[in-house]
Structure 1
Amino acid sequence: MPTDRKQENDFKVVAVGGGHGLPIALKSIQKYSQNITAIATVADDGGSSGRLRRELAVLPPGDSRNCLVALADDNLISRLFQYRFTCGEGMAGHALGNLIIAALSELTGDFSTALAEAGKLLKAKGKVLPPTDEKVTLCARLEPEGTIRGQCNVANRLRSLVSIWLEPTNSRANEEAVAAIKAADQIIIGPGSLFTSIFPNLLVSGIRDAIEGSKAQRIFICNTMVQAGETDGFTAEQHITAIFKYIGRGLIDTAIINQSSFSSQHLSELAKINVTPVAAGENNLAELDMEVIFADLADQDYPAHHDVNKLARVLSGQADKI
């Protein structure tokens, strides 16, 4: 615990990402810090979030909703936010929390304010912010397919990636998110879908520049499993070099890499959906000029996820070094 240097409520942690990975990281961070800011992607254009984005012209709320719930206690309100309608014309597939955030966004006229108000409803122990307040579209150029636009179109088609960017290309970073990064003691990137959850945050130049200029601990948490269609066959080293190639160097000081053993049953089940553990790639990692931490981190029941307590021990151990 970082109590030798600062009290828990003074130790500032910023976590960057989206999808299912960022909420797990947030639950781990709560074990050693009470001053947490999540920066969650707003590039999603699928499912309930995508429908609200298209029909109401609001920023997609799903990734932010999951983060708010991760920062809240497990109670009736948090379960209501995660409740997903299974039937009803126009309602099937929508998460109630998405509708609440969309309504708050229209009432307040501002997505960040909507997230703050939703956080009050949930009594969330931290803030959730977008990387940008603009409606951005994730784009990629593939070889030989050419340019494709939209997160859902980009996902699962990244085997021949040439370049990746956001439109508009000059999206302004959320000022509160930038301020949180500049004030942070520890910045955590990941885990999560590398190109479609993590990159949409780092592709906002103001977010990238703030992380690059930060004196905080800058930690990348590599996924436990490859993601079919997105990081097929990637080693941990290739996850990191992808950030170097498409985003830039100078964002990571430490990489945390899973080294769990998996049962043959788990591996067999995962192989059916073309998912395999991320290999470390130790030989090349030594050349990346950063601290590399190997640990048993996978959730034994859900090996594609990190175990909250295991991850918390490693992250708090890093915090103790400050």
Structure 2
Amino acid sequence: MHTGILPIIPSASKLSSPETGVKVAALGGGHGLYASLSALRLVTGQVTAVVTVADDGGSSGRLREELDVLPPGDLRMALSALCDDTDWGRTWRDVMQHRFSSRDGVKGSLDNHAMGNLLIVTLWELLGDTVAGLRWAGALLGARGEVLPMASVPLTIEARVNRDGEPDQLVQGQSVLAKAGQLEDVRLLPENAPACTEAVMAIHDADWVVLGPGSWYTSVLPHLLLPEMREALCTTKAKRLLTMNLDVNDLEATGMNAADHLHVIARYAPEFRIDVVMADPDSVGDVAEFTDAAAMIGATVVFGKVGSSGAKAVHDPLRLAAVYRDIFGDQKVT
């Protein structure tokens, strides 16, 4: 810890929006978690994001390798999604999301680094505390909620890749596996890594736990592969909501349909039960098959048109917020 600074660490309650509402722990990573948080912040002022820490590509991967820190990129994305909806909050969100780009012909040391990644790592080094650093970053953005890592150490995802006509290959690394194709025997390394204590507490304290959307094997499933996190998800008294992807056949889930995604959850965590599975009807082919797969993990299905009107498979925050609000109950939109 930097000896020239005596930090006063802001509490999570002081960083959250003053509005009340249902307590939600939202789990995931990357753009999927960004989508759910962008919607949830419209429904309640009590959101805790629990973020995967297995990224090993891009700016995050470089900082992880060079400084031996948690990869900050998905944490930065979650903070940006929860920023205060004011000029102050939006400006600092844009600062956090800004990426440096070297001039033509120059390969600079800052090239493609996100400013927010550097800021978060700076706070970690000064404060010597990962959670405290994220709380300070959240205070800067006026974040409407808290952002926590799922584990207190960096994680590595390992899986066997099934390619047609080729023997299965054992592959490590989120950035590689995200584009690898059909995955089998997915696991986290180290296998008994410690979960973030505050994240486990948030799951037990929540009224609802929202898992997904996101890359199924590298952003959603890891929460069920970390032993302490999995136990918390299975024993919490909170209700559990699984948000399906709009694109269920991306590079990471080649050949899979919506029902197959639910079978993945059941296969890797058979004791984990879901209360509600929420899906856009356009992403579900065989409704009967999907409903049966949801029932297998204890869930009822709620369909809602939550995709944006554009060509890309992107969740619309307002539409997603409306469906979340209906599922949670008659909650005030803040």
Normalising by the smaller structure, the TM-score range is 0.7 to 0.9
Q: Which of 103, 106, 125 does residue 144 from structure 2 map onto? A: 125
For residue 302 of structure 1, report the CA deviation from its aligned partner: 5.1
Q: Does 1:320 align with 2:329?
A: yes
Displacement, 1:156? 1.6
Written as runs of structure 1 = structure 2, the 5 A alignment for 1:160-179 is 161-179=183-201
Q: Are residues 1:154 and 2:177 paired?
A: yes
Change over 3 Å in CA distance of 1:190–1:91 after alignment to 2: same
- Residue 75 in 1 paired to residue 94 in 2? no
Tell me, yes or no, if the aligned pair for 2:178 and 2:215 is still in contact at 8 Å.
Answer: no
TM-score by length of 1: 0.88
Is 1:231 aligned to 2:253, yes or no? yes
Matched letter for residue 76 of structure 1? T
Residue 219 of structure 2 corresponds to residue 210 of structure 1: no
- Report the Cα offset of residue 36 of structure 1: 0.6
| Displacement of 1:196 | 1.1
Cα offsets for 1:192-221 (capped at 9, x unmatched):
111111122221111111111122221111
Identity %: 38
Structure 2: tracts of 5 or more residues without a match: 1-17
CA distance in 1, matches of 2:308, 2:301: 20
Report deviation, 1:37: 0.1
Segments of 5+ residues of structure 1 without an aligned counterpart are 1-6, 261-277
Partner secondary structure for residue 277 of structure 2: strand
* Number of aligned positions between the proteins: 298
Evaluate the alpha carbon distance shift between residue 232 and residue 321 of structure 1 in structure 2; reply closer, same or farther with a 3 A threshold.
farther
Q: 1:91 to 1:251 in 2, by over 3 A?
A: farther
| CA-based RMSD | 1.8
Question: Which residue of the partner structure matches residue 29 of structure 1?
Answer: 40
Correspondence 1:1-322 to 2 at 5 A: 9-73=20-84, 74-87=89-102, 89-143=108-162, 144-159=167-182, 161-260=183-282, 278-287=283-292, 288-289=294-295, 290-301=299-310, 303-320=312-329
Q: Is the 8 A contact 1:193 1:227 kept in 2?
A: no
Q: Do the aligned residues in 1 keep the contact of 2:29 with 2:51 (CA within 8 Å)?
A: yes
Displacement over 3 Å in runs of 4+: none
CA distances 1:141-165 after superposition (whole Å, capped 9, x unpaired): 2352332111122222231x33111
Secondary structure at the aligned position of 1:223 is classed as: coil
Q: Which residue identity is paired with 2:75?
A: S
In 1, Cα distance between the equivalents of 2:249 and 2:119? 31
Higher mean C-alpha deviation, range 296-305 or range 75-84: 296-305
**Alpha-carbon distance in structure 1 between the residues aligned to 2:19 and 2:311:** 29
TM-score (norm 2): 0.85
Residues 280/295 of structure 1: CA separation in 2 closer, same or farther (3 Å cut): farther
